[in-house]
Amino acid sequence: MKRLFVLLSLAGVLACSAKIEASLADEKDAAENKEGMERPKKVVKTNAEWAKILPRESFLVTRMKATEPPGTGRYASYHGKGIFACICCGTELFDSRAKFESGTGWPSFNRPIDPRRIATEQDFSDPNEVRTEVMCAVCDAHLGHVFNDGPAPTGLRFCLNSASLKLIKPPAEIKAKTAPKAKVGAAKSKARTN
């Protein structure tokens, strides 16, 4: 009886994983049909090279497939605007508009910017659960996992490690913060000379 329960549980997990893979494959096919979309070029470095350029926690997460504790990542509670890029290669992966509060303690998104920028594969590292690992398609960085319990329209939850991401502010927001402010006195004196 116990074996039957384990077998049925495993079959259910594999069916869910297959559903995730099919959904992501459909999104990748749709993205490939868009004009002007180029497939990103691969970035390849040794672990020694990555260790020299990444913060330790980011190296452990992205290259050694570690997981940061829930609620500790800098983007878990971030609700501002921006693009989340791979901390290793800078590939833009997720838009803040696709971010939602999942209650898990990790940043969660319901879709990537372009499904061709992420890769997935089955993760058998936990003997109690088969999961679908999410990686950067450009540099193979481990980002987190994807589950099929997310909100509409995709039904997916990309549950990611903050240590695998870097936030890029939208160009308009950057420009507004860095634009020089006109001096009130200078404008008045210039107006007097005209």
pLDDT band for position 187 (cuts 50, 70, 90): very low
pLDDT in tens, 74-102: 999 999 999 999 999 999 999 999 999 99
Q: Is residue 10 part of a domain?
A: yes
Distance from C-alpha of 113 to C-alpha of 133, rounded to nearest angstrom: 17
Q: Which of 168, 130, 131, 159 is nearest to 61 (CA)?
A: 159
Residue 192: per-residue pLDDT: 38
**What's the number of domains the chain is made of?**
1
What's the average model confidence in pLDDT over 110-138?
96
Interval 92-120 mean pLDDT: 97
- Is the model's pLDDT at 134 over the cut of 50? yes
pLDDT digits (tens, 9 = 90+) for 8-63: 454 554 555 555 655 555 554 544 445 455 666 899 999 999 999 999 999 999 99
Whether residue 68 has pLDDT greater than 60 = yes
The answer to whether position 188 is within a domain reads no
Distance CA 29, CA 156 (A): 17
Q: Answer yes or no: 159 catalytic.
A: yes
Split at pLDDT 50, 70, 90, the class of 191 is: very low
**Domain that includes residue 18, residue range:** 2-178
Higher pLDDT, residue 176 or 165: 165
Whether 129 maps to a domain, the answer reads yes
**DSSP character at residue 128:** T
pLDDT of residue 41: 85
Residue 193 lies in a domain: no
Instruction: Round the average pLDDT of the chain to a whole number and report it.
Output: 81
Q: 21 is written with which tokens?
A: 């893979």
Residue 107: which CATH number?
Answer: 2.170.150.20
pLDDT at 16: 53
Q: Is residue 184 part of a domain?
A: no
Which pLDDT score, from 0 to 100, does residue 13 have?
Answer: 47
Average pLDDT over residues 88-117: 97
Does residue 185 sit within a domain?
A: no
60 within domain boundaries:
yes
Query: Could you tell me if residue 75 is inside a domain?
Result: yes
Where are any strands of DSSP class E within 37-169?
83-86, 92-95, 99-100, 108-109, 118-126, 129-136, 142-147, 157-160, 165-168
